[in-house]
Structures are given as C-alpha cells and as structure tokens.
C-alpha cells in the first residue's frame, strides 16, 4: 500500500475534537448508527442517495476525503475494474479502517489537515469525494471555500467534486432533527452553525463553473465540475 503524510500544523481545538471523535469503538458502529439510522431517520437523507452520487461521479483516479469506514467506496461500482484510490483524512483510525476494507484496490493513504494545502499533485484526480465531511469542519462557508479550491487544484480538467453535508439552517427540520442537531453542536461533533444551501452554492460556484446542489431533508448533496 502506498502511503503518504503531511504533518499537520497546530490544530484548532475544534478540529482536534473532530478527529478524536472517530475512535475504533465508534467506527465499529458507524455504518449502522450514522449511515443507517441517523441519515434516514434524523437527517432524512438515506445513504442510498449518497451511494448514487458515488456511482455517478467517481472516476478511475479517485481521491476520497474523509472516507470514514470506506462504506461507500466498498459498494461503489467504479467505471474501471481497478480504480486508483487515494484516502485522505486527519484520523489515523479512519485511514486504517477504510484502507483495510478496500485492500482489494491497494489504496494510497494520506494523513493531512483538510484546511491546509493538500500534499497531493495538481491535476491528478478524475474525482474527489467529500461526503459527510464539511459539517465537521470549523468555520463558515468562506473558510470551507478553501477546501473547494484545493479540490479544484488536484482535479484534472473536467474532473468532478461531489459529496454531501448536513446543514443547520435554510432547510426543513422536524423536532427530532432540531434536537439532535443541537446535541451535536453541544458536543462539538458538528461545526456547521450557519451552514445553508445558498451559501454552499455560492462558494462552490466561486470555484467551479458548473455546480449543482440538491437538498434532501437537512442534507445538501452537491456535484461540481472543473
């Protein structure tokens, strides 16, 4: 397995907390609890919608930012039999679990801070996945827009950025969604206060000439092309 790392600088306390939340114990139940129960019942966007994004947008050379357990890559039907996959995360536990699950693809792994320049070559990837990541990243859309700029840099011309994120405003919520979103804020697991669909569209379109955002429940599903 090809590996790489970029020693992160001093981490914001919120970023450190987000990384430390992904323990082996939590990752062991992530697919069932987060992707199964929470996505369907709380955020009201079933994981099959996210898998559909992967199957429509993932290319032969794919970078997955925040792969979690590798659930979606494990189930994705790629356009080629042997895709070149790179996994990027700040959490060593996430990288180890997802790489082990995807061992048949011999993925490369890269430990790096998403809010810093990525230690990856420009114009290399056909696709970048950013699924269920942005709501854990501290800062508003102006800060998170730097993530889109880095994704555009590592994509080849015509390449695609896609993913999803839980929003905190500008979307319909029921009582359960509001209560559990507030709990995620209280615990510091989510850093999406003020995140709305229009802000996401604006920041994507500042970088990508073709960007689309669809809201399902309290989740934004997005796809943008360089």
Assign residue 168 the CATH number of its domain: 3.40.50.150
In a domain, residue 179? The reply is yes
Which contiguous run of DSSP H or E holds residue 197?
Answer: helix 197-205
In a domain, residue 1? The reply is no
Of the candidates 134, 98, 99, 150, the residue with the CA atom closest to the CA atom of residue 18: 134
Residue-range definition of the domain harbouring residue 101: 11-225
pLDDT score for 25? 81
pTM score, two decimals? 0.91
What's the first-to-final CA gap in the chain, in angstroms? 29
Between CA 122 and CA 141 the distance in angstroms is 23
Between CA 62 and CA 85 the distance in angstroms is 5
Question: Residue 206 above 60 pLDDT?
Answer: yes
Between CA 212 and CA 188 the distance in angstroms is 29
In a domain, residue 196? The reply is yes
DSSP 40: I
Question: Residue 14 above 70 pLDDT?
Answer: no
In a domain, residue 4? The reply is no
Q: How many domains does the chain have?
A: 1
In a domain, residue 199? The reply is yes
Tens of pLDDT, residues 57-103: 999 999 999 999 999 999 999 999 999 999 999 999 999 999 999 99
Of the candidates 145, 136, 163, 122, the residue with the CA atom closest to the CA atom of residue 205: 145
DSSP 12: P
Tokens 């992967």 map to which residue? Answer: 54
pLDDT score for 15? 55
In a domain, residue 6? The reply is no
pLDDT score for 118? 96
Of how many residues is the chain composed? 226
In a domain, residue 5? The reply is no
Tens of pLDDT, residues 91-143: 999 999 999 999 999 999 999 999 999 999 999 999 999 999 999 999 999 99
In a domain, residue 36? The reply is yes
């Amino acid at each position: 397995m090809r590996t790489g790392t970029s020693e992160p600088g001093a981490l914001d306390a919120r970023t450190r907390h987000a990384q430390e939340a992904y323990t082996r114990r939590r990752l062991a139940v992530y697919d069932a609890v987060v992707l199964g129960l929470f996505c369907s019942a709380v955020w009201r966007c079933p994981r099959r919608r996210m898998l559909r994004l992967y199957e429509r947008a993932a290319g032969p050379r794919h970078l997955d930012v925040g792969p979690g357990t590798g659930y979606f890559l494990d189930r994705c039907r790629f356009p080629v039999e042997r895709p070149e996959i790179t996994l990027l995360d700040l959490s060593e536990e996430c990288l180890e679990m997802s790489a082990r699950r995807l061992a048949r693809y011999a993925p490369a792994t890269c430990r790096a801070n998403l809010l810093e320049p990525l230690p990856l070559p420009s114009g290399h990837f056909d696709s970048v996945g950013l699924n269920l990541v942005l709501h854990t990243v501290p800062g508003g859309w102006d800060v998170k827009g730097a993530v889109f700029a880095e994704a555009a840099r590592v994509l080849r011309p015509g390449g695609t950025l896609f993913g999803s994120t839980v929003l905190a405003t500008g979307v319909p919520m029921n009582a359960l969604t509001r209560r559990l979103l507030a709990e995620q804020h209280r615990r510091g697991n989510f850093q999406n206060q003020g995140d709305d669909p229009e802000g996401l569209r604006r920041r994507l379109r500042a970088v990508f000439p073709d960007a689309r955002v669809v809201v399902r429940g309290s989740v934004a599903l997005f796809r943008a092309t360089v």
